[in-house]
């Protein structure tokens, strides 16, 4: 399948790399292709520049947000939640069309310091904002409570015995996303479908706890496990 990934950060790289490894054609979107490839310094999070990753993944193409969105039959939003709507506008409503958009983003606002707060919560969510702004898109919120490494290698924590949440309005779109998750190695018995996209309020509001657990463990290699 042709898949467009919006976002060049660690999530875009992890998902893009995995999809390419699985045989999909992947194009990653950025604001400025030449500028992104020209960066040689490490990111503020200490990651190597995108160009270093690109060299190891020659089959993955880099394009503008608009071209990556046009390329993908299915799309991933892997951009900073504070700018996701802006990025989707750059991608263009025509290129987004009625495609499936897997929304991995979180509305983390660091403007008042660390730990971050949520720029939208309680009675709304970023997933819903995206769905309302682009009503034809089939938004499926998924993977946002999981570190990038674990997203594409679920067995890297507790041998895969942990939970993942998804939600979205379109049942067929959620089925297609579950198929992709299974191909990443997720046990679908552990994937909890919470219902429509308003449930993104719940999965995004886990993040304040997630960032505190990250502080406690000094590692992002942990997962939530729901038991009954």
Ligand X SMILES: NC(=O)c1ccc[n+]([C@@H]2O[C@H](COP(=O)([O-])OP(=O)(O)OC[C@H]3O[C@@H](n4cnc5c(N)ncnc54)[C@H](OP(=O)(O)O)[C@@H]3O)[C@@H](O)[C@H]2O)c1
Per CB under 6 A, the segment of 2-10, 128-136, 159-167, 182-190 that binds ligand X is 2-10
Q: Decide: helix, strand or coil at residue 79.
A: coil
Between 55 and 228, whose beta carbon lies closer to ligand X? Answer: 55
Residue 10 binding ligand X, by CB under 6 A: yes
- How far is residue 226 CA from its own chain's centroid? 21
Query: What's the min distance (Å) between Cβ of 7 and ligand X?
Result: 4
Residue 177 binding ligand X, by CB under 6 A: no
Q: Pseudo-torsion of CA 132, 138, 140, 141, nearest 10°? A: -20
Residue 78 binding ligand X, by CB under 6 A: yes
Per CB under 6 A, the segment of 78-86, 160-168, 187-195, 198-206 that binds ligand X is 78-86
Residue 203 binding ligand X, by CB under 6 A: no
How would you class 206 by CB atoms within 10 Å of its CB: exposed for 0-12, middle for 13-18, buried for 19 or more? middle
- Distance separating alpha carbons of residues 224 and 30, to the nearest angstrom: 31
If binding means CB under 6 A, how many residues of this protein chain bind ligand X? 24
Looking up tokens 């054609």, which residue turns up?
A: 25
Q: Which of 20, 27, 54, 79 binds ligand X (CB under 6 A)?
A: 79
Residues paired with residue 142 on neighbouring β-strands, in sequence order: 166
Mutual orientation of helices 126-133 and 84-91 as an angle, nearest 10°? 30
Query: What's the min distance (Å) between Cβ of 28 and ligand X?
Result: 8
Query: What's the min distance (Å) between Cβ of 22 and ligand X?
Result: 19
Q: Which of residues 22-51 bind ligand X (CB under 6 A)?
A: 30-31, 36
Identify whether the C-beta of residue 182 lies closer than 8 Å to the C-beta of residue 170. no
Between 56 and 86, whose beta carbon lies closer to ligand X? Answer: 86
Other beta carbons within 10 Å of 55: 9
Q: Which of residues 104-143 bind ligand X (CB under 6 A)?
A: 104-106, 108
Both tokens assigned to 158? 């507790």
Residue 20 binding ligand X, by CB under 6 A: no
Nearest to 164, CA basis, from 137, 207, 194: 194
Residue 144 binding ligand X, by CB under 6 A: yes
Q: Interface residues with ligand X (CB under 6 A)?
A: 7-12, 30-31, 36, 78-81, 83, 86-87, 104-106, 108, 144, 146-148
């Amino acid at each position: 399948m042709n898949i467009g990934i919006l976002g060049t950060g660690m999530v875009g790289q992890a998902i893009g790399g995995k999809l390419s490894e699985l045989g999909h054609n992947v194009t990653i979107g950025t604001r400025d292709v030449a500028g992104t490839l020209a960066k040689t310094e490490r990111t503020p999070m200490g990651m190597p520049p995108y160009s270093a990753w690109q060299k190891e993944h020659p089959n993955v193409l880099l394009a503008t947000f608009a071209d990556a969105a046009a390329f993908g039959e299915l799309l991933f939003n892997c951009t900073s939640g504070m700018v996701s709507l802006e990025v989707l506008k750059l991608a263009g409503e025509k290129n987004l069309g009625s495609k499936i958009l897997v929304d991995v983003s979180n509305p983390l606002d660091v403007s008042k310091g660390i730990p971050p707060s949520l720029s939208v919560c309680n009675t709304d969510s970023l997933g819903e904002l995206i769905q309302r702004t682009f009503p034809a898109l089939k938004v499926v919120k998924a993977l946002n409570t999981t570190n990038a490494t674990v997203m594409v290698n679920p067995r890297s924590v507790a041998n895969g015995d942990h939970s993942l949440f998804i939600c979205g309005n379109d049942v067929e779109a959620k089925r297609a996303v579950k198929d992709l998750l299974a191909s990443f190695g997720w046990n679908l018995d552990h994937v909890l479908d919470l219902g429509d996209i308003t449930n993104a309020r719940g999965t995004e509001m886990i993040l304040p706890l997630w960032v505190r657990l990250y502080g406690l463990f000094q590692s992002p290699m942990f997962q939530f496990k729901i038991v009954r």
